[in-house]
């Protein structure tokens, strides 16, 4: 066999015996061993393949700018990040904004607010919609990232990406959702319009919270791989695939309120298949996007 034939044979064999992605994992390991991380290649890899869980936090930190490209500075930079984390934590404790009983996601929110200069006068002040989105994302992130320092910095930079890089793109996603749902199933879209449900779909849950609280973290992290690496449009195709997956149920509902309530609480046992099909749809309509919103 030629080298290419052997490689293809191994890939097929690994998939058949349950070791799918072995070659991709080796490619990622090679990328991560370079003295200087190639962010462009990491983005491309993350958009084409799911990240192995053991490397996800490291890749996300690199793509979100938490870590610099050069390996020899990583330890020092993370030491600074850790010191800053504990300084902010101490400040919030001194002013009695948090305590040992404060849920961790809320701790992250108060740290984020303090850094932005948006800490309210009292903890009892009502939360803004952006704060609610941060909490949802932070709770999901806690299930994906074990280290509390990493979890805060990744959540913080993830939100920064949504609010800055995707600021103009996110408001356009409902229109894109309607466009692609029409291409995939015009009858289903017509039903939503007949029920006056299109404008009342859970867009905040889908797009502002990036499905945090809707999909289980085991499936959600595959979606966030794409968001972190440069494309928020993947969110549109997850929403489209949710509608396609539960078409029979949605078509049986005749009011916007019932449709929205169902979509906000979809069954969790189909989530892996939904995400896989959504990624296929994303590639079908967008090719393999790189750094595209």
**Angle formed by the axes of helices 39-48 and 22-33, nearest 10°:** 160
Q: How far apart are CA 246 and CA 263, in angstroms?
A: 9
The answer to whether 221 and 281 have CB atoms below 8 angstroms apart is no
Q: Band of the pLDDT at 178, cuts 50, 70, 90?
A: very high
The answer to whether 54 and 65 have CB atoms below 8 angstroms apart is no
Q: Is the dihedral of CA 64, 70, 72, 77 positive or negative?
A: negative
Q: How far apart are CA 32 and CA 51, in angstroms?
A: 12
Mean pLDDT of the chain: 90
Q: How far apart are CA 133 and CA 6, in angstroms?
A: 48
What confidence score (pLDDT) does residue 21 get? 60
Give residue-wise pLDDT tens across range 45-104: 999 888 999 999 999 999 999 999 998 999 999 999 999 999 999 999 999 999 999 999
Q: How far apart are CA 126 and CA 128, in angstroms?
A: 7
Tokens of 248: 């029979």
Q: How far apart are CA 35 and CA 167, in angstroms?
A: 33
What confidence score (pLDDT) does residue 259 get? 98
Q: Band of the pLDDT at 145, cuts 50, 70, 90?
A: very high
175 against 53, higher pLDDT: 175
Q: How far from chain centre, in Å, is Cα 92?
A: 28
Q: Band of the pLDDT at 206, cuts 50, 70, 90?
A: very high
Q: How far apart are CA 39 and CA 85, in angstroms?
A: 25
Q: Band of the pLDDT at 212, cuts 50, 70, 90?
A: very high
Token pair 């990406």 is found at 161
Q: How far apart are CA 89 and CA 98, in angstroms?
A: 8
267: three-class secondary structure by DSSP: coil
Instruction: Give the closest residue to 181 by CA, choosing from 278, 113, 289, 248.
Output: 278
Residue 215: is it exposed, middle or buried by C-beta count within 10 angstroms (0-12/13-18/19+)?
buried
What confidence score (pLDDT) does residue 23 get? 79
The answer to whether 282 and 226 have CB atoms below 8 angstroms apart is yes
pTM confidence score: 0.89
Phi, psi of 212 (to 5 degrees): -65, 125
Give residue-wise pLDDT tens across range 233-261: 999 999 999 999 999 999 999 999 999 99
The answer to whether 235 and 210 have CB atoms below 8 angstroms apart is yes
The CA-atom distances, in angstroms, between 179 and each of 194, 206, 211, 239 are 16, 16, 20, 12
Residue 267 has pLDDT above 50, yes or no: yes
What confidence score (pLDDT) does residue 17 get? 33
Tokens of 251: 């078509």
- Residue 254's CB is within 10 A of a number of other CB atoms, namely 11
The answer to whether 233 and 176 have CB atoms below 8 angstroms apart is yes
Tokens of 164: 């800055």
């Amino acid at each position: 066999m030629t080298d290419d034939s052997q490689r293809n044979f191994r890939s097929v064999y690994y998939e058949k015996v349950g070791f799918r992605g072995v070659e991709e994992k080796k490619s990622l390991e090679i990328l991560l061993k370079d003295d200087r991380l190639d962010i462009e290649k990491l983005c491309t890899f993350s958009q084409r393949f799911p990240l192995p869980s053991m490397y996800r936090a490291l890749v996300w930190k690199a793509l979100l700018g938490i870590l610099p490209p050069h390996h020899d500075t990583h330890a020092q930079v993370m030491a600074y990040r850790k010191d800053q984390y504990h300084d902010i934590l101490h400040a919030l404790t001194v002013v009695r904004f948090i305590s040992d009983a404060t849920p961790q996601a809320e701790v992250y929110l108060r740290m984020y607010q303090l850094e932005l200069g948006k800490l309210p006068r009292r903890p009892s002040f009502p939360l803004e919609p952006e704060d609610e989105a941060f909490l949802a994302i932070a709770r999901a992130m806690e299930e994906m990232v074990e280290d509390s320092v990493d979890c805060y910095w990744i959540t913080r930079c993830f939100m920064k990406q949504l609010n800055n890089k995707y600021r103009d793109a996110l408001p356009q996603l409902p229109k894109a959702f309607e466009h692609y749902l029409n291409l995939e199933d015009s009858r289903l879209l017509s039903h939503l319009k007949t029920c006056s449900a299109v404008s009342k779909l859970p867009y905040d849950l889908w797009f502002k919270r990036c499905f945090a609280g809707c999909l289980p973290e085991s499936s959600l992290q595959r979606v966030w791989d794409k968001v972190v690496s440069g494309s928020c449009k993947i969110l549109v195709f997850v929403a489209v695939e949710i509608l396609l997956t539960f078409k029979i149920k949605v078509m049986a509902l005749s009011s916007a309120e019932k449709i929205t309530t169902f979509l906000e609480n979809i069954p969790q046992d189909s989530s892996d298949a939904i995400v896989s099909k959504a990624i296929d749809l994303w590639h079908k309509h967008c090719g393999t996007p790189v750094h595209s919103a």
